Amino acid sequence: MTERVVLAYSGGLDTSVCIGWIAEETGAEVVAVAVDVGQGGEDLDVIRKRALDCGAVEAEVADAKDEFADEYCLPAIKANALYMDKYPLVSALSRPTIVKHLVAAARKHGASTVAHGCTGKGNDQVRFEAGISSLAPDLKCIAPVRDYAMTRDKAIAFCEEKGLPIATTKKSPYSIDQNVFGRAVETGFLEDIWNAPIEDVYDYTSNPATPREADEVVITFDKGVPVAVDGKPVTVLQAIQQLNERAGAQGIGRIDMVEDRLVGIKSREVYESPGGIALITAHQELENVTVERELARYKRQVEQRWTELVYDGLWFSPLKRALDGFIDEANQHVSGDIRMTLHGGRAVVTGRKSEQSLYDFNLATYDTGDSFDQSMSKGFIEIFGLSSKIAAQRSLHAERDADQA
């Protein structure tokens, strides 16, 4: 029986060439799998036909937008996931979604190997291969660009030699990855970290410096899940899409950063995630209202570790799954409304309302009706600072003894 390889297929030049390239290098039949995570572009049926025209023996396409939003973006929102306090894991979240479909296709078609189009310098190779090995330890992985030195020049030459039905137009100056949660842009002139991004880098967001009317929005959460926008019920996917449009129109969600890649290098990245940043901003503020202090403090530590695990490609790891349980539990009371003003590149919270609120007006007020017994504070401070006071006294005694010696 002929070996089969399942290929993560985008429909572009590189992965189209990979179909014939893999067949020639390995002698295997190629099954192409394209997964729609809201990246836009061509129709899935067009992509499927192209894969077959380029030599795939089978081609599968999957509309995974709701799956991606519900099972991958939502946990990131609940975790307030911002890698290095900035990046909302746009690409890192889509990889495990795609991996699940690749593994399912490998089982269905009896494939022994999964292939992807990543280079040997980036994070995505790790995300694909670590994910595949976690779900299917028996499957092998290959990456033609990395393993067989399939450069773009070679890909174009191969395409022309074989007469493949795909345009070999001049490559964009940028490397772009996008999905419904956001957009990642790198390479080109951005590799000089002194160069400022120009407007044509952006697509999901308008220029925040352009004068325009502010937009006020109310987002409703139920146990950490966004369930309504301005009082109208939404799915998680619809919440992201609507806020992409509204926050994006105000220039919200632009991120320009130098980040620490898993492979040990620093990389300059430009991101856009208007819906993601708006939802995380709202979710964080609702947690401030509804989550008890010690739980909130500890959750911030968990959030950082969770985010690092996902960034590093360990979505299916035991630690990540265990932290999921903690984060879900911490979100049990994160229900209510957050009002935000979207304007000038910022999502600013202006109102909070929750039946699960831990904010007590009578305890917080300094006016008539104050129910906080201030007389208790003096004794509390004495006890709270006692250990530091005793340590300070010891240091003072030691200094005196040293002076007298």
**Catalytic residue IDs:** 14, 95, 124, 175
The residue type at 403: D
Residue 6: CA count within 13 A, CB half-sphere: 27
* DSSP tag of 87: B
Q: What are phi and psi of 346, to 5 degrees?
A: -130, 145
Phi, psi of 183 (to 5 degrees): -145, 135
CA distances, 366 to each of 186, 213, 289, 370, 377 (Å): 51, 36, 19, 6, 15
Decide: helix, strand or coil at residue 367: coil
Q: What is the greatest pairwise CA distance in the chain?
A: 93
Helices (H) and strands (E) in the chain, counts: 15, 14
Task: For residue 26, give every residue at least 6 positions away whose Cβ sits within 8 Å of its Cβ, in sequence order, or none.
Answer: 3, 5, 113, 142
The Cα–Cα gap between 62 and 277 comes to 27
Tokens of 200: 């044509």
Backbone angles phi, psi at 277, to 5 degrees: -65, -40
